[in-house]
Amino acid sequence: MTRKTLNIGLIGSGFMGQAHADAFHRAGLLYRDLPLQPVLHTLADATAELAASAAARFGFAHSTGNWRTMLADPEIDVIDITTPNAMHFDMALEAIEAGKHVYCEKPLTVTLEDARRLRDAASARGVKTMVAFNNIKTPAALLAKKLIDRGDIGRLTRFRGWFDQGFFNDPEMPWSWRCSREQAGSGSLGDLGSHVVSVAQYLMGGVESVVGQEQTFFEARPAQGRGSGYGAAADASGARLKVENEDQFQALVSFTNGAGGIIESSRIAAGKVFGIYWEISGTEGTIVMDGERFNELKIARYSEPKHDRGFKTLLAGSQVEQFNGFFGFDFAGGGLGYFDVKVIEVHDLIHGIAGQERCFPDFAFGYENQRIIAAMEQSVAQRSRVTLGE
Ligand SMILES: NC(=O)c1ccc[n+]([C@@H]2O[C@H](COP(=O)([O-])OP(=O)(O)OC[C@H]3O[C@@H](n4cnc5c(N)ncnc54)[C@H](O)[C@@H]3O)[C@@H](O)[C@H]2O)c1
């Protein structure tokens, strides 16, 4: 039986644009239960040339150098936004107003007010939305949620989580939009910390108050020469540009369920590559996830007889439904990779669009993520604890 189609209009063909295009291809191929077949309809980039060459490479039928033309195209069902942070707002708002479903990279926006406007606009227009917090789509995170909901670790008492990467520890890594307040907002906090905040939201629930501090060690960077994104090289002229946001951030967090914790981020952690780590303790046990081994969870359960207690390794696999597209039988430990998690995200997006419920995580979740980040930044500015309120 042929499925109905879902036409995708992708904006951006950088690191994430490529990952999303790959995910739509493979979700359509791997998941037999997918209610709609994703079709790579149109790709938009900053220029017609960039868009045409990426469209040919990724397998899109059409391309454009002006993303707005996709909004007027009645054939397009979903606008997928993979541009730098500051562009998300206009693109998402206009897509919502045009009645399109919107899939948007994180963080949702640069400012909290813009995130609120997007959340409200999507709700008023009745379109489905999803923010690409892929660290809550790993089989390990999905499994941790099941274990916590089943009560395996009892009442939650503490969350510790950080996302450390080392790419900006290289002083010759050129300036990019990630260093600009206007284009990115905060530095490592919005770029990396927002993922940890998403895990805390998913597994711990709401945040009551925060205390933050931040540091910047690389005050200026060489201007960008050839290449783009993480692969860009420095401009040979020797020009240097000011870094406007923080290299690393630390926050103390109080959750609404009474638990305490810390959330940290760094883009200059020498030696760290995909250093997302989180650990959740409860009255009956502890769960640990290390992103450089992200197919695994460590769990210690107090419910076990005393002589059997201690940390055990769980291989995250077909305990979670989304894993079954990859291995259609009972399996784990074969290991999924970073880009496979985007396939899971797209699976959830398409089920969300086809179903009666909202997609998860939607723009309301993205707004809440932004609210927590804004409170952390406000705490730095006023050098005191900030309570989030209702
Ligand atoms: N979820 C994740 O794990 C993850 C990882 C990396 C980046 N991101 C997010 O993805 C987004 C993009 O990051 P990236 O690393 O892919 O950036 P990138 O610089 O590699 O790609 C950005 C793309 O946007 C295009 N673009 C710029 N201006 C445009 C315009 N006016 N119209 C259309 N396209 C335009 C660029 O040409 C490029 O193709 C950011 O919001 C970032 O925070 C998420």
Q: Are 159 and 280 in contact (CB under 8 A)?
A: yes
**C-alpha to C-alpha distance for 29 and 276, rounded to whole angstroms:** 29
Helix ranges, 35-169 (H): 48-58, 68-71, 85-97, 112-125, 139-149
224: β partners: 234
Residue 175 near residue 267 (C-beta atoms within 8 A): no
Nearest C-alpha neighbor of 314 from the set 289, 297, 301: 297
Between CA 324 and CA 148 the distance in angstroms is: 22
Task: Ligand 1, residue 83: give the atom nearest the CA.
Answer: 24
How far is CA 285 from each of CA 70, 147, 152, 317, rounded to the nearest angstrom? 50, 11, 7, 21
Query: Which residues contact residue 321 at a Cβ distance below 8 angstroms, ignoring those fewer than 6 apart?
Result: none
pLDDT of residue 199: 98
User: What residue owns the CA closest to ligand 1's atom 33?
Assistant: 45
Residue nearest to atom 31 of ligand 1 (CA): 46
Cα(18) to centroid(ligand 1), Å: 10
Question: What is the CB < 6 Å shell around ligand 1?
Answer: 11-17, 44-46, 50, 67, 82-85, 105-106, 132, 134, 191, 228-229
Per-residue confidence in pLDDT tens, the chain, 390 aa: 578 999 999 999 999 999 999 999 999 999 998 999 999 999 999 999 999 999 999 999 999 999 999 999 999 999 999 999 999 999 999 999 999 999 999 999 999 999 999 999 999 999 999 999 999 999 999 999 999 999 999 999 999 999 999 999 999 999 999 999 999 999 999 999 999 999 999 999 999 999 999 999 999 999 998 877 778 888 888 889 999 999 999 999 999 999 999 999 999 999 999 999 999 999 999 999 999 999 999 999 999 999 999 999 999 999 999 999 999 899 998 889 999 999 999 999 999 999 999 999 999 999 999 999 999 999 999 999 999 986
4-134 against 135-341+348-382: fold identical: no
Looking at the CA of residue 134, tell me the nearest atom of ligand 1.
1
How much is the pLDDT for 185?
A: 92
Ligand 1 centroid distance, CA of 15 (Å):
7
Q: What residue has token string 């400012």?
A: 111
Q: Residue holding tokens 């050839």?
A: 226
Separation CA 335–CA 317 (nearest Å): 8
Q: Which two tokens stand for residue 192?
A: 């990396």
* Closest CA to ligand 1's atom 28: 46
Ligand 1: which residue has its CA nearest to atom 30? 46
How many Å apart are CA 73 and CA 94, to the nearest integer?
13
CATH 3.30.70.20 fits 135-341+348-382, yes or no: no
Instruction: Give the tokens for residue 366.
Output: 């993205």
Nearest atom in ligand 1 to the alpha carbon of residue 13 is: 39
Residue with the nearest Cα to atom 40 of ligand 1? 84
pLDDT of the residue at 1: 55
State whether residue 7 is helix, strand or coil. strand
Q: Separation of 186 CA from ligand 1 center, angstroms?
A: 16
Fold of 4-134: Rossmann fold (3.40.50)
pLDDT at 41: 98
Supply the angle between the helices 85-97 and 112-125 in degrees, to the nearest 10: 20
Q: From the alpha carbon of 44, which atom of ligand 1 is closest?
A: 33
**Six token digits for residue 195:** 């993922």
CA dist list (Å): 120 to 69, 126, 167, 287, 356 = 24, 10, 36, 35, 19
For residue 279, what pLDDT is reported?
98
What radius of gyration do the chain's Cα atoms show?
21
Closest-lying ligand 1 atom to the alpha carbon of residue 338: 3
Q: Enumerate the domain spans of the chain.
A: 4-134, 135-341+348-382
| CA–CA dist 160, 261 (Å, integer) | 5
pTM for this structure? 0.96
Question: Which residues make beta-bridge pairs with 130?
Answer: 103
- CA 263, CA 249: separation in Å to the nearest integer? 8
Cα 214 to ligand 1 centre (Å): 25
